[in-house]
Every structure is written in structure tokens, then in C-alpha cells.
Amino acid sequence: MKSLVVIILSSFLALSVSADDGNKVESVSRENNSIYFTGTVKDKETGEYLVGAEVEIEGTELKTYTDFDGNFSFDNIAPGNYNVSANYISYKSEKLENLEISSRTNMLELELQQTK
């Protein structure tokens, strides 16, 4: 009787382990289709990098801010065409329309012009 219980429990354990492996393969394949996207935001006239500029991928909930060196990044973006905008206090907004994000790594440089 004890051996029958052990066999049944072993069977359930084997089935649950094989089911988890299928999900792991599926999640890895999704990760391979995602894009890492990075860039910088700087002043158009002086070339100085802007700290705390807002960068947004329109049509998504993705938004980030530049670091102390003017760098920003997005991770796990599905390949496709997007509108990317950058905003900063006392600067005109910059919007790139229909930007294709398709390779594993993308680098973008946005230049903002001060309002006068």
C-alpha cells in the first residue's frame, strides 16, 4: 500500500515539474522578443545633458526621467513603431513620430531647444 502511494505521488510530482518547464520555455521566448531602448537628452544649443527630463513612449504607460548624465532607458519593449517625446521645464517639447524600435539595442539622442 505504501509503495502505491509513493508511485502516485511521484507521478504527480513528475507531471508538475514537466508543466513548469513548458512555461519557462514560453517566458524565455517572450523575453527574446523584447527590446532594450536607451538614449540621452541634451540642450540643442549648448550640448549640455539635461537632468530630470521626462521621456515617454506615447501610447504606452512607459515613462522615465533622465539621470545626472542625461541618460534614460526602457526595457522589455515590444518591437514596433512608436512616438517618443521628451519634455523639460523651460524647453520646447521634442517628439519623434513613427520611430522604429526593432533591434536588440536602440540608442536615441534627443535635443531640446530652450523657450525664449
Res. 96: pLDDT tops 60: yes
Given this model, what pLDDT does residue 48 score?
97
Given this model, what pLDDT does residue 26 score?
37
Closest CA to 79 of 101, 99, 108, 57: 101
Instruction: Give the structural domain span for 28.
Output: 1-32
Q: Are residues 28 and 15 in the same domain?
A: yes
Q: Is 11 helix (H, G, I), strand (E, B) or coil?
A: helix
Q: Are residues 49 and 69 in the same domain?
A: yes
Q: Are residues 1 and 20 in the same domain?
A: yes
Q: Are residues 107 and 62 in the same domain?
A: yes
pTM over 0.95: no
Q: Are residues 39 and 96 in the same domain?
A: yes
Closest CA to 42 of 115, 116, 113: 113
Task: State the total domains in the chain.
Answer: 2
Which whole number is the average pLDDT over 50-76? 95
Provide the CATH number for the domain around residue 67: 2.60.40.1120
The 3-state secondary structure of 14-80, one letter per residue:
HHHHHHHHHHHHHHHHHHHCCEEEEEEEEECCCCCECCCCEEEEECCCCEEECCCCCEEEEEEECCE
Q: Are residues 28 and 39 in the same domain?
A: no
